[in-house]
Amino acid sequence: MFKIRTLDNGIRTIMQRVPYLNSITLGIIIESGSFYEDKNNNGVSHFIEHMLFKGTKNRSARQIAEAIDDIGGQINAFTSKEHTCYYAKVLSEHLPIAVDVLSDMLNNSTFDENEIEKEKGVIIEEINMYQDFPEDLAFELLNELLYDKMSLAMPILGTEKTVKSFTRDQIVKYFYEKYNPKRMVIAAAGNLDEKEAYNLLNEKFGSFNSNNFSLNNFVTPSYDYSPTFKLDGFIKDIEQMNVCLGFTGPSTYSEDIFPLMVVNNILGGTMSSRLFQEIRENLGLVYNIESSITSYNGAGMLSIYLALNTDQVYRVAKLLRSELVRIKQEYISEVELNKSKEHLKGSYILSLESSFNKMYEMGKCLLHDKKIETPEDVMKQINDVDMDSVIRVIDKYIDWNQLNISYVGNVKNKGAFEKELASILTGGEMSQ
């Protein structure tokens, strides 16, 4: 079961004891990401994530790494569009060390001017690196098209221009505004004593940013958007064409999420899916083809990605259109429905073997004031998916009027290519 308690400064904690493990994964999840930024400070959340590893009043960057390396543990962090998460995985007996290091990073980071300037170079190189990955470029452009003027459209890393513009004052101000105890959760899963762990967390984190209870400076952007058909791409001298299709999808906690997961498995989410088997395995026309669901608190996307030879784009686009029309008209069979549900249940049970997954999922739920779901809750939701709910989500989300298309590849005539591709994928209804 989950144990939820609040530290003296308002930070909520959630813990799950898993007695058969020898380790604990501890995470600090903050409501900070590109979704909460604007065009002037885009990338600052990710920049702060880097800076917290660059030294504190008590430890150098090397000493932060060594403190965890020396006990055989792992420490890392990541920034998404809606969250920043710092986490450590250690043997149960070393939990005090993990807590001490992570609390030191949050309480005592120096944000040294010289380190800030050095890190600008590192992150700009990271941004430039993505230019070498056409799949990432295509998905980034798809986000821009689908989410349009909403802040979800902005990249997590920011841009070279915004990163270069960051000042220490700007970074520190953002840190104390967004790393607000009321917007933070500490989660832990593994072989722990909940009472001892809570006391330890309260000692080390209970005074963090304790004078900043006000949420006046924390404005949650709107999730309102009205997707319309759009198509755009980058011309790049590469061998393969990378194409992404994006429809709107359900938010993370929507009742539609599990029915659409079932549909996604059947469409292109697994190696046995329709798209993968027909277009890749049977016809050998693509290097890769897959569908996926990306969900946020108030928005989501059903996407299809394909990597293929430029000469095959139109042929594959016709086949893809045919499969989408077929699932819209004929839906799925009972056999496909049951197989997909079993796949979801198996994948979910396997994910529970990871203490990181346990930590992160229950931490996110608590952060957003959502019900902390037990495995039994999740299994019931999967089992409850029926043909009616599948038909509902297919009709709702596979909508040509909301289709967005992005591509990265070597195209000789951009206008003619886009017109033909749009005509094929929409059946001529939205051709440009």
Range of the domain at 104: 2-205
Is residue 159 located within the same domain as residue 265? no
Bridge pairing between strands 288-295 and 184-190? unpaired
| Position 67 in a domain | yes
Angle of helix 257-264 versus helix 334-351 axis, rounded to 10:
110
Confidence class for position 130, pLDDT limits 50, 70, 90: confident
Average of pLDDT values for 64-75?
A: 97
| Position 103 in a domain | yes
Q: Which of 31, 49, 140, 418 is catalytic?
A: 49
Residue 222: what pLDDT? 82
Domain boundary among the residues 170, 205, 240 is at: 205
| Identity of the amino acid at 319 | L
Residue 265: what pLDDT? 97
Identify the DSSP state of 109.
Answer: B
| Position 33 in a domain | yes
Cβ atoms of 110 and 102 closer than 8 Å: no
Report the predicted TM-score, pTM, of the whole model to 2 decimal places: 0.94
The CA distance from 362 to 130, in Å, is 31
**Burial (Cβ within 10 Å: 0-12, 13-18, ≥19) of residue 415:** exposed
Question: Range with the lowest mean pLDDT among 168-177, 256-265, 344-353, 421-430?
Answer: 421-430
Tokens representing 222? Answer: 């709107």
Is residue 304 located within the same domain as residue 378? yes
Residue predicted with more confidence, 226 or 348: 348
Domain boundary among the residues 158, 190, 205 is at: 205
Which residues contact residue 266 at a Cβ distance below 8 angstroms, ignoring those fewer than 6 apart? 273, 274, 327, 332, 336, 340
The CA distance from 136 to 55, in Å, is 31
Full DSSP string of 253-275: T-TTHHHHHHHHIIIIISTTSHH
Confidence class for position 149, pLDDT limits 50, 70, 90: confident
The CA distance from 308 to 232, in Å, is 18
The CA distance from 369 to 397, in Å, is 26
Residue 311: what pLDDT? 94
Residue closest to 431 by CA, chosen among 305, 321, 311:
321
| Position 89 in a domain | yes
Is residue 278 located within the same domain as residue 161? no
Helix, coil or strand: residue 308: strand
| Position 300 in a domain | yes
User: Tens of pLDDT along 179-213?
Assistant: 999 999 999 999 999 999 999 999 999 999 866 54
Which percentage of the chain shows pLDDT scores above 90?
Answer: 91
| Position 216 in a domain | no
Q: Check whether 432 has a pLDDT greater than 50.
A: no
Is residue 274 located within the same domain as residue 416? yes
What residue has token string 């997961």?
261
Annotated active-site residue 49? The verdict is yes
| Position 224 in a domain | no
The CA distance from 354 to 190, in Å, is 9
| Position 180 in a domain | yes
Q: Check whether 431 has a pLDDT greater than 70.
A: no
Which percentage of the chain shows pLDDT scores above 70?
Answer: 97
Confidence class for position 37, pLDDT limits 50, 70, 90: very high
CA distances from 381 to 256, 270, 347, 363, 367 (A): 10, 20, 14, 20, 22
Is residue 240 located within the same domain as residue 334? yes
Average of pLDDT values for 168-183?
A: 94
Residue 372: CATH number of its domain: 3.30.830.10
User: Tens of pLDDT along 279-299?
Assistant: 999 999 999 999 999 999 999
Split into its structural domains, the chain has a count of 2
Is residue 72 located within the same domain as residue 156? yes
Confidence class for position 227, pLDDT limits 50, 70, 90: confident
Q: Check whether 139 has a pLDDT greater than 70.
A: yes
